[in-house]
């Protein structure tokens, strides 16, 4: 068994202790043997303490084992010390438990890394935070949407997005709300949904934030195209009375011709005035309806883009030349900021130019009453390598209620406007799988953003 066998050592130590005690009392308390008896007493005390310490050392390994579990330190290995079969088996069981915990922890870490990778790669922004606002997790989609490299507390967003912070903290669980986030010079519509969670007795909130701009635009354009088709049908039906009036006038003229077969025809003044008024009515209403129908058709029948790569700087330079005379006449300073080389976009250049011409002309009208007039054209790649073109003016801006409606067909803030241009421009961008957005501050100006 060896000298280190636990049972053997305990027996030997107990026997020595018993022998020492027996000898201590056997000597009696004689004065001549007092020194020997004191020495035996000290020996008995030392042997007792040694026995206790030896036994306690066996429990120290148990405490060490429990600490490895408590502190998740599973690097410890318990090796045999030749203390007997029982202890060898005990240490073997310790090692098996530690290996099991180590496997569980490895599996848990692998699972955690897997779910973290999934959360980080999904396109919807995810944020989890405590009720105090302390962020526990924020994925890459949320960082891109909120334009933050890192986020440790919800309140850090209050300066840029106070409405979002308020809804994150107070929105009832299981409900959603649509908000607008200001991202640079753009206003991005997002859908916010929150749920409450309890983990290890602590309350958490999980919020999902999704950019719904594309979905809103698709639904908007689908609804308006359906409306346009219906209205076109109704408008064409309204032409029927005009046609009937024209037929009536033609019939009257035919009756007069039949009643007076001579070369010269005599008409009463009243008859002539009635026919002239009818013809004027037909002309006026026909022209108005033709213009109206043409506007509708321009929205419903945008040509399919013929896409090819072209240079954005070259296009902006040509637009600058196109508007040069008008800008000088209106005392407008035009600033063009664009990389000289390398910025290209896959699109239909003629349709994109049509959009930009419309936006530039709108900006010129917006600057009409400004003492200092500045128009800025910018082009640059965004963080997702998408080409962005912005048209910015320092006009009086657009009211909040008007911002929500300016892309609706036939809505206009200009006395002589048709309300077609911006609707048509947004539809052109949608056909390019891009977007057209607007941001504006009253008294500061307006920015339209094309994102390809």
Give the tokens for residue 275: 């026919």
Residues 220 and 285 in one domain: yes
User: 205, 175, 210: which is closest to 191 by C-alpha?
Assistant: 210
94 domain-assigned: no
Phi/psi for 26 (5° steps) reads -65, -35
Is there a contact between 126 and 138 (Cβ–Cβ < 8 Å)? yes
Domain boundary among 267, 300, 333: 300
90 domain-assigned: no
d(C-alpha 397, C-alpha 409), whole Å: 20
Q: What is the pLDDT of residue 2?
A: 42
Residues 220 and 207 in one domain: no
Query: pLDDT per position in the chain (452 positions), as tens?
Result: 444 566 777 788 788 888 888 877 777 666 667 778 788 788 888 888 887 877 777 777 777 767 777 666 766 666 666 656 666 777 777 778 878 877 887 787 777 777 777 777 778 888 888 888 888 888 888 888 888 888 888 888 888 888 888 888 888 888 888 888 877 777 788 888 988 888 777 888 888 888 877 776 776 666 666 566 656 654 665 565 566 666 776 776 776 666 667 666 666 666 666 666 666 656 655 665 665 566 556 555 667 788 899 889 888 888 888 888 888 888 989 898 888 777 889 998 888 888 898 899 888 888 888 888 999 999 998 887 889 999 999 988 888 777 777 877 666 666 555 566 788 888 888 888 888 988 888 888 899 999 99
d(C-alpha 179, C-alpha 200), whole Å: 32
Number of structural domains in the chain: 4
Residues 408 and 366 in one domain: yes
d(C-alpha 306, C-alpha 432), whole Å: 10
Residues 316 and 442 in one domain: yes
Residues 361 and 419 in one domain: yes
Domain boundary among 84, 100, 135: 84
Is there a contact between 439 and 187 (Cβ–Cβ < 8 Å)? yes
d(C-alpha 65, C-alpha 59), whole Å: 10
- Angle formed at CA 120 by CA 115 and CA 125, multiple of 5 degrees: 115
110 domain-assigned: no
95 domain-assigned: no
Residues 22 and 128 in one domain: no
319 domain-assigned: yes
Which class for 68: exposed (0-12), middle (13-18), buried (19 or more C-beta within 10 A)?
buried
Which class for 125: exposed (0-12), middle (13-18), buried (19 or more C-beta within 10 A)?
buried
Q: What is the pLDDT of residue 24?
A: 78
The continuous run of DSSP H or E covering 422 comes out as helix 421-431
Distances (CA, A) of 412 to 83, 223, 226, 228, 394: 94, 19, 21, 17, 19
Q: What is the pLDDT of residue 105?
A: 77
3-state secondary structure 40-53: HHHHHHHHHHHHHH
Give the tokens for residue 21: 């005690």
3-state secondary structure of 330: coil
103 domain-assigned: no
The count of other CB atoms within 10 Å of the CB of residue 157 is: 19
Residues 324 and 421 in one domain: yes
Output the DSSP codes for 115-183. HHHHHHHSSSEEEEEETT-BEEEE-HHHHHHHT-S--SBGGGGTTT-HHHHHHHHHSPTT-EEEEEEEE
Q: Give the structural domain span for 223.
A: 216-300
Residues 420 and 346 in one domain: yes
User: 408, 409, 373: which is closest to 392 by C-alpha?
Assistant: 373
Residues 312 and 390 in one domain: yes
Give the tokens for residue 120: 């980080």
User: 195, 213, 192: which is closest to 203 by C-alpha?
Assistant: 195
70 domain-assigned: yes
Residues 421 and 329 in one domain: yes
- Kind of pairing, strands 445-451 and 435-441? antiparallel
Is there a contact between 49 and 61 (Cβ–Cβ < 8 Å)? no
Residues 343 and 381 in one domain: yes
User: 41, 44, 37, 36: which is closest to 17 by C-alpha?
Assistant: 44
Domain boundary among 194, 211, 228: 211
**Residue 393's domain is classified under what CATH number?**
3.30.565.10
Distances (CA, A) of 189 to 140, 356, 437: 18, 23, 10
Residues 313 and 445 in one domain: yes
d(C-alpha 217, C-alpha 356), whole Å: 19
111 domain-assigned: no
């Amino acid at each position: 068994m060896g000298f280190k066998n636990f049972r053997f050592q305990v027996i030997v130590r107990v026997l020595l202790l018993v022998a020492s005690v027996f000898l201590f009392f056997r000597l009696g308390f004689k004065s001549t043997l007092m020194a020997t008896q004191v020495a035996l007493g000290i020996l008995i005390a030392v042997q007792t303490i040694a026995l206790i310490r030896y036994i306690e050392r066996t429990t120290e390994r148990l405490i060490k084992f429990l600490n490895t579990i408590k502190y998740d330190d599973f690097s410890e290995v318990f090796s045999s010390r030749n203390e007997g079969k029982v202890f060898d088996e005990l240490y073997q069981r310790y090692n098996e438990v530690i290996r099991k915990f180590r496997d569980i922890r490895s599996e848990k870490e692998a699972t955690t890394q897997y779910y973290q990778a999934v959360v980080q790669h999904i396109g919807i922004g995810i944020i989890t935070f405590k009720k105090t606002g302390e962020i526990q997790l924020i994925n890459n989609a949320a960082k891109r949407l909120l334009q933050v490299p890192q986020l440790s507390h919800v309140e850090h967003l209050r300066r840029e997005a106070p409405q979002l912070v308020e809804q994150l903290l107070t929105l009832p669980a299981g409900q959603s709300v649509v908000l607008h986030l200001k991202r640079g010079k753009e206003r991005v519509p997002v859908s916010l949904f929150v749920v409450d969670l309890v983990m290890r007795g602590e309350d958490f909130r999980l919020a999902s934030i999704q950019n719904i701009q594309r979905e809103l635009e698709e639904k908007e354009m689908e609804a308006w195209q359906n409306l346009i088709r219906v209205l076109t049908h109704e408008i064409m039906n309204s032409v029927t009375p005009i046609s009937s009036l024209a037929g009536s006038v033609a019939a009257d003229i035919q009756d007069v011709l039949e009643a007076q077969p001579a070369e010269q025809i005599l008409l009463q003044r009243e008859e002539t005035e009635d026919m002239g008024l009818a013809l004027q009515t037909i002309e006026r209403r026909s022209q108005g309806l033709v213009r109206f129908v043409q506007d509708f058709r321009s929205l419903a029948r945008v040509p399919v883009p013929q896409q090819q790569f072209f240079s954005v700087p070259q296009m902006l330079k040509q637009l600058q030349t196109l508007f040069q005379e008008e800008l000088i006449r209106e005392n407008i300073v035009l600033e063009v900021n664009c990389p000289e080389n390398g910025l290209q976009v896959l699109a239909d250049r003629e349709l994109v130019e049509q959009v930009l011409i419309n936006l530039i002309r709108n900006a010129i009208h917006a600057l009409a009453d400004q003492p200092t007039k500045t128009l800025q054209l910018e082009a640059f790649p965004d963080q997702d390598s998408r080409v962005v073109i912005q048209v910015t003016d320092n006009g009086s801006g657009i009211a909040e209620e008007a911002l929500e409606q300016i892309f609706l067909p036939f809505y206009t803030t200009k006395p002589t406007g048709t309300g077609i241009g911006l609707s048509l421009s947004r539809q052109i961008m949608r056909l390019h799988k891009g977007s057209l957005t607007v941001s504006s501050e009253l008294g500061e100006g307006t920015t339209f953003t094309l994102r390809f």
